[in-house]
């Protein structure tokens, strides 16, 4: 099944992701968001999370839960860029379970603001990261 996202990453759930109700706990959906975003930034954009001068910090996030995910499913996380500015980016994410039948288990958005590692003051998005983000821009629906 093709997803409406230019970047898709598979993320296996773990045993401890399930809560007492037998499904992945809501906090883990945000961890899936973080995982797909940061994997892409590191691999495609060359973001140096350990020593780079600029880092991305979350300024806003939102998740709409549509269906339960459960261990041992593998989540397909789709990522696209809805808005790219000089110092910030707004991502849109879709999480799809193995039983999704084309519908996302969750959708959401996440805003990164890039800041200086030491001062935490906003800075321009590093060129390599910006180039990678530009490849994920989608036209508004």
Look up the CATH number of the domain holding residue 25. Answer: 3.10.129.10
Instruction: Look at residue 47 and tell me if it is in a domain.
Output: yes
pLDDT for the residue numbered 48: 96
- Four-residue CA torsion sign, 77, 82, 86, 88: negative
Contact 11, 40 (CB under 8 A): no
pLDDT at residue 1 greater than cutoff 80: no
Note the pLDDT tens digit of each residue in 54-111: 999 999 999 999 999 999 999 999 999 999 999 999 999 999 998 877 899 999 999 9
Residue 115 CA neighbour count, 13 Å, CB half: 12
| pTM given for the model | 0.94
Instruction: Look at residue 140 and tell me if it is in a domain.
Output: no
Instruction: Look at residue 92 and tell me if it is in a domain.
Output: yes
Note the pLDDT tens digit of each residue in 101-120: 789 999 999 999 999 999 99
Note the pLDDT tens digit of each residue in 30-51: 999 999 999 999 999 999 999 9
- Strands 54-65 and 74-84, sheet pairing: unpaired
pLDDT for the residue numbered 141: 55
Instruction: Look at residue 139 and tell me if it is in a domain.
Output: no
pLDDT for the residue numbered 74: 96
Alpha-carbon distance of 136 to 54, in angstroms, equals 20
Neighbours of 84 (CB within 10 A): 15
Its domain, for residue 27, covers 7-134
Domain count for the chain, please give it: 1
């Amino acid at each position: 099944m093709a997803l409406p996202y230019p970047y898709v990453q598979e993320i296996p759930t773990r045993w401890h992701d399930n809560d007492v109700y037998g499904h992945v706990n809501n906090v883990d959906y945000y961890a899936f968001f973080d995982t797909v975003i940061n994997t892409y930034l590191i691999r495609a954009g060359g973001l140096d999370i350990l020593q780079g001068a600029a880092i991305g910090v979350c300024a806003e996030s939102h998740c709409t839960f549509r269906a339960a995910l459960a261990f041992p499913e593998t989540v397909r996380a789709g990522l696209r860029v809805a808005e790219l500015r000089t110092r910030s980016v707004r991502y849109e994410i879709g999480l799809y379970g193995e039983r999704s039948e084309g519908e996302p288990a969750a959708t959401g958005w996440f805003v990164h603001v890039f800041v200086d590692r030491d001062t935490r003051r906003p800075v321009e998005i590093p060129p390599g990261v910006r180039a990678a983000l530009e490849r994920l821009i989608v036209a508004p629906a």
